[in-house]
Structures are given as C-alpha cells and as structure tokens.
Structure 1
Amino acid sequence: MVSTMAEIRTHTFPNGLTLAVEEQPWNPGVSFTILVPAGAVTDPEGLEGASSVLESWLWKGAGTRDARSFAEALDALGVRRASGAGLEYTTFSASLLAPHLGEALALYADLLQRPWLPEEEFEAVRLLALQELAALEDQPSKKLFVHLRRAVFTSPHGRDAAGRREDLLAMTPDALRADYARRYGARGVVIGVCGGVRFEEVRDLVEAHWGGWTGGAPEPPAVTLSEPHTLHVPQDTAQVQIGLFYTDVPPTHPEFYTARLAAEVLSGGMASRLFTEVREKRGLVYAVSASPGSVGGVGYLAAYAGTTPERAAETLKVLTREIARLSEGVSADELARAKVGVRSALVMQGESSRARAAALARDWFVLGRVRSLEEIEREVEAVTLERINHFLEAHPYERPWVGTLGAQPVEVA
C-alpha cells in the first residue's frame, strides 16, 4: 500500500489563485509547480505557438533583474527549475531546500507578474521556437500525431503547442505583450507545493507575493470533434508510422481508473497485449504502444505502431483488432499485472516531491480538487475483474481516427 502520511490542504485566494500543499515533515526539500491556464488552446487566432514563445521570453528578465542576474539569483538558492507550455496550460516548477521557499516564490512572482519581455531578446526566442518546429521533420511519430490531433479536433484542442511556422513568423513583440496581458493573471492559476513545509507558512508566503496579482486567462473554447476518418501524411521515409485515436472516459468519470487499467493491459510492459501480439508473436513492428490522455474534459486513448511499408497493412489490422478485442474482457492475471504497474507508477510519484507538486496543480485544474496517493490506490484496488469486463463490454474501443505517415497511404480494411 502506498503511504505518504502527508496531509493535503488547499486555499483559494480572493483573486482566484488556488494553493494546494502536501506536507511532508520528513522531507528537507520542497518543490512547487505554478500552473497558468494559458496554453495553445487559447492562443490568439493567427498566433499559434504564442504560449510557447511567451514561456521562453518570460525568463529574459523580471523585476529588477536582467536574464543573467535572475538566473544567478535562482542558482544562489540552489533552485532546480523547469518550465513548458502545453495545450491547456503553461507550468513553471522549482525544487530546492525548504528554508529558501519564500525567496524562490518571490523570484517566481517577479517572473510571472513583472516580466521585462525585452524587445532585443524576442527574435532569439522566436528562432528557437522555429527550430523546435523544424525538428518535427526528424521525429516522424511525433509529426504524425500533430497531424492526427488536428484531424480529430475541430476546436483549438487539436493544435500543437509548438505552433505553426506562418504564425511564428507573424508574431511581433507588441502582439505577444498584449497576449501576456490578456492571459497572465491570478484567476485560475494553481500553485502546487510538496515537501517539508507547513501549510500556514506557505499560504502566508503566497498571499504576500501573489495576493495582489489581478486578472486571469479567458475561458477556453468548448471541445468539438470531427467524425472518425482516415488521413495520410506523405513523407519520403523507409518506415511507416501508424496512429489510432479513440474517445475514452475523462478523468472525472467514475470508471476512469477502470479505463486506465485497461490501457495498462494493452501497453503496460513486455507482457502487455500489444507488445506480445503485435511485436513478439508476429514481428510486425519495431515499436508499439497505447496511452490514455485527456484535454478539455474529453478522454482519449492513443495507439502507435512503427513498421515497414510491407507490413503496414497487416500491422494496422492486427493493432485495431487487439484493441477492439478488449471488449471480450481481460483475464485475472492481466488485471493483477495492470494493478502492479499502476501501483509502481504511484510509488515512484510518491517518492518525487516534484512529481507530486505537479500532480497537485494538475488535479485542481482538471478536477477542481486534489487526490491523495491513497485515494488513487483505493480506486485502483476497487476495480474487480467483473467490473472491468463489464466496463469494456459496455464501452468498446471502436471507430478510431486512423493516421499514417510514410511514402504511400496504408490500405485500411
């Protein structure tokens, strides 16, 4: 049984910012994740990629410090940091010794509330974004799913956080500053904190440094989907990439962990169905996997296979058949292995304060509440063989969107 022996408490300030703290008295360190609800979904029309460019530009000076002195101030506190923009939000994280938390939160308050956004640094940031986008040509599997997402979602949820070349080229410093003012504010921001701190102490620090922040991101658009169909992305390559996209239950659904265990049966290791049936028994692929996800309250299961042109049609046939075969049920041994896999992931997350801080922020953003590791494990353990098989029979994985990338389209049976 996973046991953190940690208390989780939350507080929402009058400006709309929410704090979630998991106390770990035994931990000398602390991690925090600041989730800002500014992602590709709410990028301005014609400026896709704005969230990613802003995330990088924000680090180019804040408060009273230029980029170099800001980095030196964080280094002096021993802060290990990261940030990144995604579809629905942008995150800024840090890990450090607990006594320095107040100083770090003050620096991050400058970063997000008082950035310089200097014009002379804008072009370098944009060039990096263009290079990242160009790197897709060397990552065919990732490129396929960029196209497949755009085909699945007719709403902006099909966008890629890296943006589009024409939009990146059209960006100007003034347009990005206006976008920062429109989307960066306290309302909807979540700060997840995990480590050797007390809730009251962190609450007071956040109130002191973040309580005066105003504004907030606009509401995201509703999710809309196309009808399932097939698309092909032509690229002169010796391999063929295959992607499948199925709708699934979202994280708010009572059977979310049932679906999560079903995905583990499919693709949870070398004993999983996809690895065994598609790769080991038939030798059809060099890579195969399936993973659950969600965006905008819509759940999905994405599956991938990499193969050769000669084996592509059979790979697609076997891949879709194995996923559809879940509706016939799983065995007791498969469910037991799936639970072990999910529990192992929980244990690893529990050992990382950075992972827990990120999970706290993400939970509040997606669910409007925070789950403990114990709660998640109870949900997983409550899934019986009868329950998962009843769910799979009632929710078959069928009618996927199908995407392929390669020199020629793949015949779809």
Structure 2
Amino acid sequence: MRDAIELPLDLPEIEARVSNGGLFRRSVLPSGVRLLTEEVVGAASSSIGLWVPVGSRDEQPHEYGSTHFLEHLLFKGTPSRTAFEVSAAFERVGGEVNAQTAKEHTLYHAKVRDADLPMAVEVLSDMITSSVIDAAEFEIERGVIIEELAMADDDPNDVVWERFYETLLGTHPLARPIGGTPASIRAADRDAVWSSYRQHYRPEELVVTIAGAVNHDEVRAQLERNLTAGGWDLDVPSAPVARRETALQHGSAAPTGPLSAIDRPLEQLALVIGGQGITQLDPRREAFGLMHRIFGGGMSSRLFQEIREKRGLAYSVYSFGGSHSDLGVTGMYAGCAPDNVLETVRVLRQEAEKLVQDGVTATELADAKSASAGGSALAIEDADTRMSRLGRAEIHTGRFYDLEAALSRVEAVTLDEVQSVAADMFSGELVASAVGKLSSEARTELERR
C-alpha cells in the first residue's frame, strides 16, 4: 500500500513525485506561512487558494457570523484597489474568484490561466494582508448578508440542514449556522470584525495551495514579495499554528431532542435523519465512504432503488457523511410529498436496519471500490479539486494522499470493516429534522427512539 506524504509542521521542505507524474512540493517559510503546490503535467491553468484555519466554530458569542461577514468584506477593497478593481482583475482575463466560509476554515480561491497566476497571487495577497474593512462598506455588506440569509431561509433544504446540526449537536460550536443569524448580523460591530481580522490573518495562520501550471520556486518568490508589500514582516521567525485537537472539544455534543420540525405550507417536505459520524482522522474513513456509496450514494444505491425506483416515494434521496476535527455527522436525506412522509421514514429506517444486520455483499463492495476509483480519477482532472485536497491535507489532517495512495487504501477495505462502521453509525439513537407539512402520524414516527 502506497503511504501518505506526512506533513509535519517543523519540516521546512518536502518534495515528492505523485500520481500521473505530477510534482508535489511544500515549503514552510520562516514566518510560518505554508505553501503547497502540485504541478500538473500539461496543465494550462492554475487554481490557487489562500486558507485561514478559522471558521464559524471559533467565534465567541458576541461574534456569531463574523467569520462569514469578514469573508465578504475582504472583497471590498484595499489601499491600492477598490472593490471593483478586485473583481475586474480576474474577470478581464476570464478568470474566476470566490470565497467560502466553513465551520473550521475560510478559503479565498481563484482559477486563472497559467500566464495570469502572478496576478492572482498579487490580488489575493493584497486582500489577505491589507483589506481596509471600510465602515461604509461594512454597513452596505450588512444588508447584503441579511439578504443572503433571507434567501437561505426561503430554501427548505438549507433550513433542514441547519436544524439537523442544531438538533444533533446541541450547544457544540459546530451546531451553529456558518453565516450567523439576522439578529447576530444586525448586531455585528465593525471594530469586533476588524479585531478578528487582525488576530487571525497572520503569517503563521496562512496556508497557500496551488495546483495546475505552477512553478513552486517562482510562486514562492511572488508570494513573499506580495505579502511583504502588504505589510507582513516575513523576517520575524514564527512556527505555523498547531492543527486542531482531535479529542472532542467544548464538552459533549448532546442532542436537543429527537426531532426539530418547522411547519411550512410546501408541496414537498425536506427530511434528514441521522446521528454522529466519524472524524477527519478516523482510520475507518475509507470504509465509511464505501458504505455510503453502497447505501445512498447514487442511482444504483439501496436507498435510491428502494425509495425512488421501486416505490416512487421521493425524487431526491441519499445518505451522507461529514467529518470535522473532533466529531462528524452521518445519516439519510429525502424530499417527498407530505402524504409520502410516513412510508418514507419507515423505509429509510428499514433499510438502515438491514444494512446494520446484514452488511453489504461482495459484489456491492467491489462495485463501490470501482466507482470510487473512477470518481476519484475524474475528480482530480479538475485543478480546483487538487488545490482543495492540498489545503485540507495541510490544515485538517497533516497528511497528503495522492490518487494512488488514496485508492490503495480504498482497495484494502473489507466486508467486515464496512459492516462494522455501518453498525456504529446506524445502531444508536438518531435524530431528525423536517421542513414542510408534517402529519401527526409522521411526527410520532420520527420522534420514536
């Protein structure tokens, strides 16, 4: 089995050939900035990401939503660029630029042709180091974010996922909505957001990942030059920030109850049933992924065949798993007409019980491994995927798996390992969230432990 590339924080340089002849390099600068690149043979474009390992879970009570707020504000200008000039720099060359706030990190990313990579490094570095967080822009963006939250609240699928996390994890920081609430955004203070920016956007926190047409040494020089121009003193020695603890943080994550239901006059009810899953470093993650591929990962999966194809109960049905540093989530989703909810819930539970009791077949496992290999090979054709894999490896796990190493781990999974992880995921008490019209009979079934 091919081993992962370990990424210790105290090792300044790592270089390795990876699958398909690509070159992986990682440098830890004396200032603590980390640069990871994957040079892809024959690529004509590059995807770049600037990561800060701070997400919504890190906010204090008076800061809820501030991480997402700050992500918006970094596009609003620096001393050398207006908000228009930030966007226009990418659009005039046909590039893409965006950002995302997650529960455990924030990412600013772009995709450009190879000739425009120096521009992307320059503009993103300027945003990271030198955003002014203008008071007038702050108030304008407050309104924009409130509209964004309103749009999400109108989408039952967005709402049902937020309620699921809250119901399952209770007071744990991962239960909070990433974007905050209208009330927390209205209460947000510019000085508090500015303070968070100055606290977390520092050399020892920054991770830069680039995949595609990239020369590591050239981009390192560009990065150092642009971060210095933005006012960061890269001559001050500093170790990178430690990765997150993997033991359960902030106490236990206790459910608030068996069901969170929001009644809305909709033609379809959005439903999630699930429980706690596995962490990012859990050695069972390959078995976990294969289990979900078999159980609810596509049109040939058990849930899709049983609920949609055989019974016509739902259009959308699948199983899911999500992992964080100290806990994870897992479960099942279905969107169905109110009259079909009761039967859908019963079938979902029956299929979960069958998975736990009988496991999966050798044919199902072989097909899942083949599908995983094909899907992974197709995914890494995209430089965005490669860039993201680099960042998640550096920030969250501390080890990088190229395609060959990842697939060798998948191939080693046994039937017993899949059944074991299924039993751990679906044998315990599950919680549910629902948005739509829920009958009293369906409510009683969902509240049953």
Normalised by the size of structure 2, how large is the TM-score? 0.85
Preserved contact between residue 279 and residue 325 of structure 2 (Cα < 8 Å): no
Counterpart for residue 179 of structure 1? 196
Cα distance, 1:343 vs structure 2: 2.0
What does residue 293 of structure 2 align with?
A: 264
**Partner letter of residue 261 of structure 2?**
V
| 2:267 pairs with 1:276 | no
8 A contact 1:34–1:91 mirrored in 2: yes
Relative to structure 1, the CA distance from residue 326 to residue 106 in structure 2 (aligned partners, 3 Å threshold; closer, same or farther) is same
Q: Report the equivalent of 1:225.
A: 253
Q: Does 1:294 align with 2:310?
A: no
2:77 maps to which residue? Answer: 61
1:8 & 1:176 partners in 2: Cα distance?
36
Letter in 2 for 1:15: S
- For structure 2, the residue ranges without an aligned partner over 5 or more in a row are 1-17
Structure 1 residue identity aligned to 2:319? A
Q: Which residue of 2 aligns with 1:149?
A: 165
User: How much does 1:60 deviate?
Assistant: 0.9
Q: Give % identity.
A: 26
CA distance in 1, matches of 2:274, 2:103: 17
Which residue pairs with 1:234 in the alignment? 262
CA contact (8 A) 2:298 2:318 kept: no
Matched, 1:197 2:230: no
2 CA distance for matches of 1:19 and 1:306?
42
- Note if contact 1:229-1:400 (Cα within 8 Å) is conserved in structure 2: no
Alignment partner of 1:26 is 2:42: yes
Give a deviation string over 1:60-118, Cα, whole Å, max 9, x none.
Answer: 11241111223333344543211111211111111112233233212211101001211
Whole-angstrom distance in 2 between the partners of 1:287 and 1:136: 19
Distance (Å, rounded) in 1 between the aligned partners of 2:285 and 2:198: 36
Once the two structures are superposed, what CA deviation does each residue of 1:337-377 show, in whole Å capped at 9, x if it has no partner? 22233223212221111111011101211101222122111
Is 2:340 aligned against 1:308?
Answer: no
* 1:336 positional shift: 2.3
Matched residue type, 2:100: G
Gaps of 5+ in 1: none
Conserved? CA contact 1:288–1:306, under 8 Å? yes
Paired amino acid for 1:257: E
Query: What is the aligned counterpart of 1:382 among 412, 434, 445?
Result: 412
Amino acid at match of 1:46: H
Question: Residue 338 of structure 1: which of 368, 371, 374 is its match?
Answer: 368
Instruction: Identify which range, 211-220 or 164-173, moves more after superposition.
Output: 211-220
CA root-mean-square deviation: 2.5
CA contact (8 A) 2:276 2:425 kept: no
Q: Is the 8 A contact 1:188 1:217 kept in 2?
A: yes
Q: Determine the structure 2 residue equivalent to 1:70.
A: 86
Q: Which residue of structure 1 aligns with residue 377 of structure 2? A: 347
The TM-score normalised by the length of structure 1 is 0.92
| Cα deviations by residue, 1:313-340 (Å, 9 ceiling, x for unpaired) | 2221221221232222111221122223
CA deviations 1:283-330 (Å, max 9, x no partner) are 222321111111233232132112233332222122122123222211
Number of positions where the alignment pairs a residue of Structure 1 with one of Structure 2: 412
Indicate which of 90, 93, 98 corresponds to 2:114.
98
Structure 2: distance between partners of 1:213 and 1:114: 13
Q: Secondary structure at the match of 2:177?
A: coil
Q: Decide whether aligned partners of structure 1 residues 74 and 271 sit closer, same or farther in structure 2, where only a CA change above 3 A counts.
A: closer
3-state SS of the aligned residue for 1:242?
strand
Paired with 2:120 and 2:359, the residues of 1 have a C-alpha distance of 50
Give the aligned partner of residue 20 of structure 2.
4
SS at match of 1:201: helix
Cα distance change, pair 254–228 in 1 and its aligned pair in 2 (3 A): farther
| Residues in 1 aligned to 2:124 and 2:371: alpha-carbon distance in whole angstroms | 36
Distance 1:100 1:141 in 2: 38
> Given residue 138 of structure 1, which amino acid in structure 2 is its aligned partner?
D
